[in-house]
Amino acid sequence: MSDSAWDVVGIGESSVDEVYRLPSAPGPDVKVPISSRQIRYGGQVATTLAACASFGLRATLAGTLGEDEHGTGLRDALEKRGVNTTHLIPRRARHRHALILVDERTGDRTVLWERDERLVLDAADVPREVIASARLLHVDDLDADAAIAAASVARAAGIPVTSDIDRVTEKTDALVAAVTIPIFAEHVPARLTGEPDGERALRKLRSAHAGMLCVTLGARGSMLLDGNQLHRVPAPRVEAVDATGAGDVFRGAFIHALLRGDRPAEILRFANAAAALSCTREGALDSVPTLKEVEEFLRT
């Protein structure tokens, strides 16, 4: 067991999702009936940490929490799944809310979200001592200034930093430079480099970043550039029910495999399997598999 207080500290998004399952994706001027409606708890970093905790890691979420019934429900859901919430900062605001439309045929989703400005985490709010007591820091790109500040604290302490980068803003380059292992959504490397080919985009990013560079590819799996060696691992085939949170589960599994010392291709294989397994269930925190389930899935 590590002497660190935490295996993983996460800084970033948590969300309450209102999920509508539809028989088909909505199109222009089309009326689509609702098959079911559910309230689910998740968010990028919250779901990643729930996956980390499910795999046996000590995880704590640092960020902000709305002081409403959604914030209370989210805190309870995270604690139930083994994620520590003592470093969440309460704010007098409605917690972040998302409306998710899920196509029942494919599991594909459309996400509409809103967030009160009072929930913004500033760089001054970053819990530096908590970060310095961890084995790894995980950040997203929601509050970029806080993420960059947190990453700087971690790197100064020799702590690796993984990231969830799924959009491009004026601060994305600085965030990529701040973390040690950026994990990109598929469209991001192309937008950062102007190179449409995924491998060439990662190799172009290599000129400014020496660490492992990873990109998720949805149903096609993932790839990772380690030095000059590219690892590309396909995803297992599954019958998808809901893809909500699959990328976040991938990141949690990636962190688990990284911390136990797996080689790059095996990290991707484990993370792909966990993400694929999560797609066979209704999404967000409820889709997170256990370590035993992922290992059994890989064996079969």
* pLDDT higher than 90, residue 113: no
Report, as an integer, the average pLDDT of 10-32.
90
Residues 6 or more apart in contact with residue 289 via CB below 8 angstroms: 51, 54, 249, 274, 277, 278, 281, 297
pLDDT tens by residue, 246-268? 999 999 999 999 999 999 999 99
Of 34-38, 222-226, 266-270, where does mean pLDDT reach its minimum?
34-38
44-63+79-88+126-299 under CATH 3.40.1190.20, yes or no:
yes
The pLDDT > 70 percentage for the chain reads: 99
Report, as an integer, the average pLDDT of 155-173.
97
Report, as an integer, the average pLDDT of 56-70.
96
* pLDDT higher than 50, residue 295: yes
pTM, 2 dp: 0.92
What pLDDT was estimated at residue 2?
A: 55
What pLDDT was estimated at residue 77?
A: 96
Beta strands 59-66; 83-84: pairing state: parallel
